Amino acid sequence: MKRVLTIAGSDSGGGAGIQADLKTFVANGVYGMTVVTALTAQNTTGTYGIHPIPIAFVRDQFNAVATDIGFDAVKTGMLANQWVIREVAGLLASCKPAHLVVDPVMVATSGSKLLEDDACSVLKSELLPLATLVTPNMPEASALLGREVVTNEDAKAAAYDLQ
């Protein structure tokens, strides 16, 4: 059975984050593991609180999985701030996973910010270069590229520019 590690935030409402990732992994017949980067208090109407996990504990979770179970692929989601991004990028650079999917989660569906403003440049410079695949939505692509991504043509250009 393939093993996939998700490094992301926890959505207490179960509709996103590690909860949604684990549901997707099960539906696709892969063994899922987690490194939790942030706890959120959210539901379908909004996000009511965000608590980033201390960097040392993010590292501990990663090392516990990597040194015992291992993984065939890694997917990142909500990383919350530049410090978590730097730590995760360093850990991934050291182990070089065969497949790395980066979902640059920045804003919840409800509109709440899930990534601090100063973290976007760190995401672009330290994590995106390691990615096999980057899966931004249009607002995330706009933030990463510093230009509006609105139309299908914009999205095609953004996909090319982000590769």
What's the confidence (pLDDT) of residue 37?
98
The strand ranges marked E within 22-159 are 31-43, 46-52, 73-76, 100-102, 133-134
Query: 113 - beta bridge partners?
Result: 107
What's the confidence (pLDDT) of residue 116?
86
Euclidean distance between CA atoms 106 and 120, whole angstroms = 9
In this structure, what token pair is assigned to residue 124? 């672009």
Euclidean distance between CA atoms 24 and 135, whole angstroms = 15
pLDDT by residue, tens only, the chain of 163 residues: 999 999 999 999 999 999 999 999 999 999 999 999 999 999 988 899 999 999 999 999 999 999 999 999 999 999 999 999 999 999 999 999 999 999 999 987 777 788 888 999 999 999 999 999 999 999 899 999 999 999 999 999 999 898 7
Length of the chain: 163
Distances (CA, A) of 146 to 50, 80, 149: 26, 19, 9
What's the confidence (pLDDT) of residue 70?
96
In this structure, what token pair is assigned to residue 114? 């899930």
Torsion of CA 159, 79, 22, 136, to 10 degrees: -10
- pTM here is 0.94
DSSP letters, 119-136, are GHHHIIIIIGGG-SEE--
Nearest of 87, 143, 91, 93 to residue 114 by alpha carbon:
143
